[in-house]
């Protein structure tokens, strides 16, 4: 059905039979210096067979900080100072520090007399639930970035980007506390029971008996433990171009990166390729699925995305109609393109986009 390609990226040890040993993970093979530049060995693997080298720890930390945290470029688009403050708080989960927004803070002080009054006024524009979610998301972003930096030699506090330093002070008080939290989560990512429990309790993603499937757009919705677990696989192999689904295994320390073209447009996307990354053994297995009647298909695709995905409700309505039509009565039969077409034909139905219609219509 698919063609598999295997490549070994190293090896690691097992501490015992109950924990996955992630301590031996290395980002990639060492490469020689480039030309006459004094590049330090600070690599990051963005995709298989490709690495980025950075001139120093701060450049690498800046990259990881941007890569594993959401784009915040639009947070300062409010019209007036109060709305700009509210926007910053909703994005960062905290008020700005004076060094971050000196002009904004000067405007707020001139209007409200103190930052305390300005913050109280800004909170009236936000719901407590939204602020709590913003804090959780930002704290998660922070510890994920710090946990990943462990593999490269953690940067000093002064080498962190200014916004990251502000996050550390706001959420953990000290850099030591933040690093301790990140370190504990990294250790937890090597505990099978904790990983499986986190997947079972996850509100985002599609749980199977062996794994949690999630669309790349929802990756940031996972708890920090699972984000770190997935990121360990990225450190080993990077992410293939076109991969848009992640399969986080809980029966072994591994992540599979699945490529499903036209996921948004196709009501039942097909699987084109899969990169399996065994984190503990640092080995990969690449499988391609060329066009054939037996190529795997996805169903119930709304379960792969976050609750807030703009198309989730539309996709869920299609699934409901398909279930009522009896198309899912035999899950094994509909796992491939040929099987799915056969079931549709047997029911006298056809798909037009995300609409299920009768052939007689």
Residues 85/122, Cβ–Cβ less than 8 Å: yes
Alpha carbon 333 to its chain centroid, in Å, reads: 31
Can you read off the two tokens belonging to residue 187? 């250790």
Summarised one tens digit per residue, pLDDT across range 142-158 is: 999 999 888 877 888 99
Instruction: Return all residues near 290 (Cβ < 8 A) that are at least 6 apart.
Output: 2, 3
Question: Distances in Å between the alpha carbon of 273 and those of 121, 158, 229, 267, 294?
Answer: 51, 42, 22, 18, 14
Summarised one tens digit per residue, pLDDT across range 87-127 is: 999 999 999 999 889 999 999 999 999 999 999 999 999 99
Is the alpha carbon torsion for 125, 128, 133, 139 positive or negative?
Answer: positive
pLDDT-wise least confident of 1-10, 34-43, 191-200, 351-360? 1-10
Closest by Cα among 66, 70, 81, 80 to 134: 70
Sketch the domain layout of the chain as residue ranges.
56-188, 192-358
Is the backbone of residue 279 left (phi > 0), alpha (psi -120 to 50) or beta? Answer: alpha
Residues 109/75, Cβ–Cβ less than 8 Å: no
Residue 137 φ then ψ, to 5°: -65, -45
Summarised one tens digit per residue, pLDDT across range 227-281 is: 999 999 988 888 888 999 999 999 999 999 999 999 999 999 999 999 999 998 8
- Rounded to the nearest 10 degrees, how much is the dihedral formed by the CA atoms of 90, 96, 101, 107? 80
DSSP 270-314: BP-EEEEEETTTTEEEEEE--S-TT-BB---GGGGS-TT-TTHHH
pLDDT at 154: 82
- Rounded to the nearest 10 degrees, how much is the dihedral formed by the CA atoms of 15, 18, 227, 268? 130
Give me the percent of the chain exceeding a pLDDT of 90: 68
| pLDDT, average across residues 72-89 | 75
Residues 146/179, Cβ–Cβ less than 8 Å: yes
pTM: 0.81
Say how far apart CA 110 and CA 105 lie, in whole Å.
9
Whether 26 shows a pLDDT value over 80: the answer reads no
Among the ranges 40-44, 68-72, 113-117, which has the highest mean pLDDT value? 113-117
What is the C-alpha radius of gyration for the chain, rounded to an integer number of angstroms?
23
| pLDDT, average across residues 213-239 | 93
């Amino acid at each position: 059905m698919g063609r598999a390609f295997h490549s070994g990226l190293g090896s690691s040890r097992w501490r015992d039979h109950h924990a996955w040993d992630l301590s031996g993970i290395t980002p990639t093979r060492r490469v020689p210096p480039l030309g006459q530049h004094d590049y330090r060995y600070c690599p990051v693997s963005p995709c298989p067979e490709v690495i980025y080298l950075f001139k120093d720890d701060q450049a690498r930390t800046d990259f990881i900080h941007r890569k594993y945290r959401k784009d915040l470029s639009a947070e300062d688009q409010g019209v007036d100072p109060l709305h700009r403050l509210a926007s910053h708080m909703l994005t960062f989960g905290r008020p700005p520090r004076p060094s971050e927004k000196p002009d904004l803070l000067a405007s707020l002080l001139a209007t409200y007399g103190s930052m305390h009054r300005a913050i109280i006024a800004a909170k009236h524009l936000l719901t407590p639930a939204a602020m709590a979610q913003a804090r959780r998301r930002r704290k998660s972003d922070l510890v994920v970035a710090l946990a990943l930096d462990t593999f490269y030699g953690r940067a000093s506090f002064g080498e962190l980007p200014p916004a990251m330093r502000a996050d550390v002070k706001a959420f953990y008080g000290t850099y030591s506390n933040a690093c301790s939290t990140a370190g504990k989560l990294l250790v937890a990512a090597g505990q099978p029971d904790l990983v499986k429990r986190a997947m079972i309790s996850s509100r985002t993603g599609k749980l199977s008996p062996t794994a949690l499937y999630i669309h790349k757009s929802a990756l940031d919705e996972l708890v920090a433990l699972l984000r770190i677990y997935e990121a360990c696989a990225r450190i080993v192999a990077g992410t293939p171009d076109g991969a848009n689904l992640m399969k986080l295994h809980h029966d072994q320390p591994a992540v599979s990166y699945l490529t499903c073209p036209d996921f948004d447009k196709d009501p039942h996307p097909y699987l084109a390729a899969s990169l399996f990354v065994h984190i503990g053994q640092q080995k990969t297995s690449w499988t391609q699925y060329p066009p054939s009647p037996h190529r795997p298909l996805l169903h119930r695709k709304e379960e792969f995305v976050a609750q807030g995905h703009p198309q989730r409700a539309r996709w869920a309505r299609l699934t409901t109609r398909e279930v009522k039509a009896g198309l899912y009565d035999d899950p094994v039969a509909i796992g491939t393109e040929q099987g799915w077409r056969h079931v549709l034909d047997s029911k006298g139905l056809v798909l037009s986009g995300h609409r299920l219609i009768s052939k007689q219509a």
